[in-house]
């Protein structure tokens, strides 16, 4: 079975600082990778996803993530964070291909951006 590790439980940054949130997964086969965000009081929303092709994926709100297959990693980055990026961020993985519907989530990283 696949698993996901997010290294940071809580990250605190000042506005305009650069962000990198770590995500590693374990699974021997081909995977699809996702980052979800949950703003305070709101539902989970998809930030970006990787299925195949260019390992550098761009998502909404200036976020991007890079899939490094050799490191089993899919780190989330943003060059300059804003106060409105304060939220909890979840990395998730799914076995690629038909017949697999479940996402496996990491524990999440809480991001607090200080104005």
Partner 1 sequence: EPEVTQTPSHQVTQMGQEVILRCVPISNHLYFYWYRQILGQKVEFLVSFYNNEISEKSEIFDDQFSVERPDGSNFTLKIRSTKLEDSAMYFCASSSRGFNEKLFFGSGTQLSVL
Using CB under 8 A as the binding rule, the residues of this chain from 93 to 112 that contact partner 1 are 94, 98-108
Which of the stretches 10-18, 20-28, 35-43, 71-79 binds partner 1 when contact is defined by CB under 8 A? 35-43
The reply on whether position 8 binds partner 1 by CB under 8 A is: no
* Site pattern 55..94 for partner 1 (x: CB under 8 A): -----------------------------------x-x-x
User: Using a CB cutoff of 8 Å and minimum separation of 24, what contacts does 107-111 make?
Assistant: 107/6, 107/9, 108/6, 108/38, 109/6, 109/7, 109/8, 109/9, 109/10, 109/11, 109/21, 110/9, 110/10, 110/11, 111/10, 111/11, 111/12, 111/13, 111/19, 111/21, 111/81, 111/85, 111/86, 111/87
Residue 16 or 51: the one with the smaller Cβ distance to partner 1 is: 51
Residue 45 or 84: the one with the smaller Cβ distance to partner 1 is: 45
The reply on whether position 32 binds partner 1 by CB under 8 A is: yes
């Amino acid at each position: 079975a696949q698993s996901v590790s997010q290294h940071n439980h809580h990250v605190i940054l000042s506005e305009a600082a650069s962000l990198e949130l770590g995500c590693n997964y374990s699974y021997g086969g081909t995977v699809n990778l996702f980052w979800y965000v949950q703003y305070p009081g709101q539902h989970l929303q998809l930030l970006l996803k990787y299925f195949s092709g260019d390992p550098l994926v761009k998502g909404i709100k200036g976020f991007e993530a890079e899939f490094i297959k050799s490191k089993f990693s899919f780190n989330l980055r943003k060059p300059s964070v804003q106060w409105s990026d304060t939220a909890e961020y979840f990395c998730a993985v799914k076995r690629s291909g038909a017949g697999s519907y479940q996402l496996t989530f990491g524990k999440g990283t809480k991001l607090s951006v200080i104005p």
